[in-house]
Chains A and B, each alone.
Chain A
Amino acid sequence: MSERRRPRIGVVTFPGSLDDRDAVRAVGFMGGDGVALWHAERDLHGVDAVILPGGFSYGDYLRCGAIARFAPIMDEVRAFAEAGGPVVGICNGFQILCEAGMLPGALIRNRQLRFVCRWVDVRVETSVSPLTDELVAGEVLRVPVKHGEGQFVASAPDLERIERDGLVVFRYCAPDGVTDEAHNPNGASNAIAGLRSEAGNVVGLMPHPEHAVDPDVGATGGQPMLASLLSSALARVSAA
């Protein structure tokens, strides 16, 4: 009897990555195999999907993600994405994807000029992304954010294109799914919490799904996101 292979999800550790071990643990919790990847290597070790985790890569003393985009492994991640591989950037990982030009826009200092760590609700806007392909637009998930620079901004034409092409994956919202300023933790344009590439296989988000899988610790809004990622990764393997 042939055993279905567990999806292998690579998690890149940059110097200053903080949530890398947590992402590996969360992937394991959801039934996948987390594979630690090292920033200085040019090898993805054959993983089925890549997570760029949260943290402060290289200290983020310049701009968040501005140095990490030049790490040797990012060439491999870019090639993997261009070949259609699922790539997820969480928090600092989202910032890196924007700096690397793999996602539009940028993440700047929170509107209130303070770091914010709190549980928020996000509304799923599209099922076309590796984090949402098992979800339906309109669903609301509870996940935590923790960042000082999470205010998503983009030029007017970019923002228009993002909305027109349906690239928004998650928006901050009230528990009932309504978006309003009171539930936008950082002043993000159009309450954007997460975003995908035009091709749909690269997604970045400020909230931390890896911190929302274990019911003993808190809400579990990250479970369906990571379940989607695992199935996206497997689908790619079966297609290959």
Chain B
Amino acid sequence: MMMTRLNRSFRALSAGAALSILMLAAPAAFAETPKDTLVEGFAIDDIITMDPGEAFELSTAEMTSNTYSLLVRLDMADTSKVKGDLAESWTVSDDGLTYTFKLKPGMKFASGNPITAEDVAWSFERAVKLDKSPAFIITQFGITGDNVTEKAKATDENTFTFTVDKPYAPSFVLNCLTATVASVVDKKLVLDHVKPVTPSADYKYDNDFGNEWLKTGYAGSGAFKLREWRANEVVVLERNDNYYGEKAKLARVIYRFMKESSAQRLALEAGDIDIARNLEPGDLDAVAKNADLASESAPKGTVYFISLNSKNENLKKPEVQEAFKYLVDYDAIGATLIKGIGEIHQTFLPKGQLGALDENPYKFDVAKAKELLAKAGLKDGFSVTIDVRNTQPVTGIAESIQQSVAQAGIKMEIIPGDGKQTLTKFRARTHDIYIGQWGSDYFDPNSNADTFTSNPDNSDAGTVKTLAWRNTFEAPELDKEAKAALLERDNDKRAAMYQDIQKKYLANSPFVFIFQQTEVAGYRKGVSNFKLGPSFDTNYVGMIGKE
């Protein structure tokens, strides 16, 4: 019996040893992605549709801008200007209402169909008639489902005219046309895939303009073609050989869904991905120390703020609002919590946009804040709550602010919640203080100026839920000035007007701006020409190469 036992353990032991030898012998070759393929680890779980007329998510913006073409694009050399993409040239009529675009000749869609002004017109028509989330970027020019065929039309094969309802600043109109909703789709191809719809009071048309097919399908002419999107798994882009511009260097770009920062870092270090897109400060430090890796960053059009709801009697007082601006420890937050992922920024227009103001007058100053609180009759402080979604860096920032306001006697209770949950509360304006961020809807100062100043109906029944409305804040004078800036056709004057609005806003508003987001990514040294753009729809991958 002793023998059997021995045998048994011996067998187990030898099997175990054999297994480990097998494992060791397994090809331990260094993992490498294929030479002609770029692999990015990216938290792409926000993508819900690939239809450019419908998509309004950050990750989708990157996919759309690499796979579709626009009439005009932001000029990367100076992002307060635009340059032609499909359009060779354009003119604005003297009354400032009609924009005429001439298309470059001989361009083709990925499908091989020629790109004509008719495709451009139809792309506008379908976006307006579908009327999905981003459609307002076009309809704000007085375009409706009833007049779109008149206002956005092809006058000949290569000429497209766009007629707006007011003599807007041309920079405003052109900036809006760089938004992904204005992407040009292949009319002929999409028409093969339209689905009939029964018209209703909400939707008057008898077909879906190919919306269902385009959710996962593709009908564009960008540097890359969209080959496949599998939710929470992968997005695969393939080089478009019919592209009229400079051809993409790589044959394929694969975005792998990876949620975790530390997991992305491991895969990047091991060479299973070429670029890691969602690294947190700790992992960025590790990337910086690794000789095989490098990092790239760019400020994005997203600003982070805390906002004070004027429904709360204490927070309504201008002195209290200003006191809060003195009660944020900007230096400490900048040096630790947002190191590498943001920079202190106290105005509502992000750097890079026309009229941005690079002024950060507020410093952490408890004495000054106490003085202001005393003036408001609150020298003993008060109690208040803040809704914070349970992610970084906002949780850390909220905790920092909690400590600094306590020094002035304000007891701030943190109510943590899921992102959508806190947002629901914010949109119902039942919060006291909210910590949030705002990214411009399109790359023009009007996007932020409007949401921070405009509040046409401040009652609870108000349907235009601008950020001003959500905080029960009215600034009719500033709103008027912003509306005037919209019609200012001189670019420099227009920029000066926004700067003036921001200065007044700094002194008198319930918003405490903290920082502007910086997008960072780690990449392997073999990757060349990797650049992040100033917005999520300018993260181009076409010029990226690999050694």
Task: Decide whether A and B are members of one complex.
Answer: no
